[in-house]
Structure 1
Amino acid sequence: MKATTKQDSLLEQQLALGSYLDALLTGVPTPLVQVTEIQRKAEEQAPVEVQPVQPEQVTVSLADTVPEWAETRFQALLFEVAGLTLAVPLAKLKGVVQNMHGLTEIPGYSSLFPAVMPYQGVQSTVVDTARFVLPPDRAAQLDDDISERAAQLVVVDGGRWSLACSRIGDVIDLEAGQVKWRTAAGKRRWLAGSVIEQMCALLDIDELARQLAEAMA
């Protein structure tokens, strides 16, 4: 199978998960051109040239949507969550831990925060990332046992959160122009945009940390 076909297949799977990549961005709708027909008899009035109504131009500056860490060339680490590829900026990454000894489950905690893990002197809360990023109908189908989804842990926000993932991928070099940045806030504030070539979601770790704190409160 050609590489292009594999990429198209992956993108289709991602789009099927609640229009995953489409939810990253707010597009500007294409306005309709309105033309008023003016009918006049030739002997009563000279022909009238009808000018189409020009659509309002909506311009979004790249500088208004690019976070500070992406103003210059930056790197991001790819990782997989329930078959989806996510990317975390290295500037916002605290570390990566291989989950070799299991997790300390917390009785009474929600399924979104199933465990804690000691990390460099702090108790890092483990996040079931798949349950957080997937649409509710897909998240409801996840197995209660997080072990397979937490083979690796991506530690962010100074160690406060450990994002469970099934596999760690490559580190990629990026420039702002290689990312389709989101232009409006929404439910998925933790999504900074989509990396065009890799067809994956780039995380906004600051917003992610805020949303996790809100969910835990």
Structure 2
Amino acid sequence: MNKSAPQRQTQPAPGALHGPAQAIDEFLETLLEPVREYHPRQEALARQRQEQEEQQGQQTALRPPDVLTPAVVALPQVALEVPLTERVEDSEIETRVEISTPLPAYAEQPFQCLLFRASGNDFAIPLVTLHSIVKQTRAPATLPGQPAWHAGLLLHRQQRIGLVDLGVLLTGAPATGPSPFVVILGEGRFGLLCTEIFRPQTINPDQVKWRQQRRDRPWMMGTLREQLCPLIDTQALLDRLETG
């Protein structure tokens, strides 16, 4: 039996293309790989499940952390030995409101004052607020039922003038000795009994220590710094006399 001579395998030259047999083998190997069956419903369910898992993951990442509410613990009530506030009587908290009294227009510039003495004390009164000055020539007529400061009536130019004892009105002490002069105020209804009359003086506003609040002694506008005597507010004094 003739032995066939062994076939000689030839190696492809470098860079040569694969032969038809090798290409067919590679194609067959790809066909022999297991192919997953395609189920449309299962694919849709799997896709839906994956989307839900992704949404849950996003919601979990965006959700704010839980805030813990502190527990409220009721503390026992303890009676205080010292009260927090003390009761203050109404009389202690009452505040006195002082209203500043405006000065009259004539006091804004130099003005003339008449100085006189009554019941042993010296006083000053603005000349612009006076009616006249008279000297008594006879005893005044007295009237019953009048206040203690009312010293009687003076008939002057057919006008009855009520005489005022400044000592009784302002200090409670009656005048001692005769009071021959009468300083008639305003419209002439009242006159001040005087023991002496001095020459008028010009007073500058800065020569007076003015009273800003006159709750007490409203008739006193201030004090003359040099003469050290009270300056009378004529209108306030007349208001006091009108009230009796």
Q: Could you tell me the TM-score, scaled by structure 1's length?
A: 0.62
Secondary structure at the aligned position of 1:104 is classed as coil
2:110 partner letter = R
Shift of 1:105: 1.2
Aligned with residue 219 of structure 2, among 169, 177, 190: 190
Residue correspondence of structure 1 range 44-123 to structure 2 within 5 A: 65-123=102-160
Shift of 1:66: 3.1
The separation in 1 between residues aligned to 2:189 and 2:149, in whole angstroms, is: 15
2:109 partner letter = T
Shift of 1:65: 4.5
Cross-structure match for 1:32? none
Distance 1:211 1:96, change over 3 A: same
Answer whether contact 1:65 1:181 (CA < 8 A) is retained. Answer: no
Secondary structure at the aligned position of 2:198 is classed as strand
Cross-structure match for 1:41? none
Secondary structure at the aligned position of 1:192 is classed as strand
The 10-residue stretch of structure 1 (64-73 or 162-171) with the greater mean CA deviation from structure 2: 64-73
1:210 partner letter = D
Displaced runs of 4 or more, over 4 A: none
Secondary structure at the aligned position of 2:199 is classed as strand
2:239 partner letter = R
* 1:150 lines up with 2:176 in the alignment: no
Answer whether contact 1:191 1:202 (CA < 8 A) is retained. Answer: yes
The separation in 2 between residues aligned to 1:164 and 1:101, in whole angstroms, is: 13
User: How large is the RMSD of aligned CA atoms in angstroms?
Assistant: 2.1
Answer whether contact 1:179 1:194 (CA < 8 A) is retained. Answer: yes
The separation in 2 between residues aligned to 1:189 and 1:195, in whole angstroms, is: 16
Cross-structure match for 1:124? 161
Q: Deviations over 1:156-197 (max 9, x none)?
A: 021011111111112111111110011102231111110000
Secondary structure at the aligned position of 2:137 is classed as coil
Aligned with residue 204 of structure 1, among 226, 233, 241: 233
The separation in 2 between residues aligned to 1:65 and 1:180, in whole angstroms, is: 14
Cross-structure match for 1:159? 188
Shift of 1:72: 1.6
The separation in 2 between residues aligned to 1:189 and 1:160, in whole angstroms, is: 20
Answer whether contact 1:149 1:166 (CA < 8 A) is retained. Answer: yes
Shift of 1:149: 4.7
Aligned with residue 174 of structure 1, among 179, 203, 210: 203
The separation in 2 between residues aligned to 1:66 and 1:179, in whole angstroms, is: 12
Secondary structure at the aligned position of 1:80 is classed as strand
Cross-structure match for 2:4? none
1:160 partner letter = R
Among all aligned residue pairs of Structure 1 and Structure 2, give the percentage whose two residues are the same amino acid: 28
- Point out the structure with max Rg over C-alpha: 2
Answer whether contact 1:82 1:149 (CA < 8 A) is retained. Answer: no
Shift of 1:116: 0.9
Q: Which has the larger strand fraction?
A: 1
The separation in 2 between residues aligned to 1:67 and 1:181, in whole angstroms, is: 12
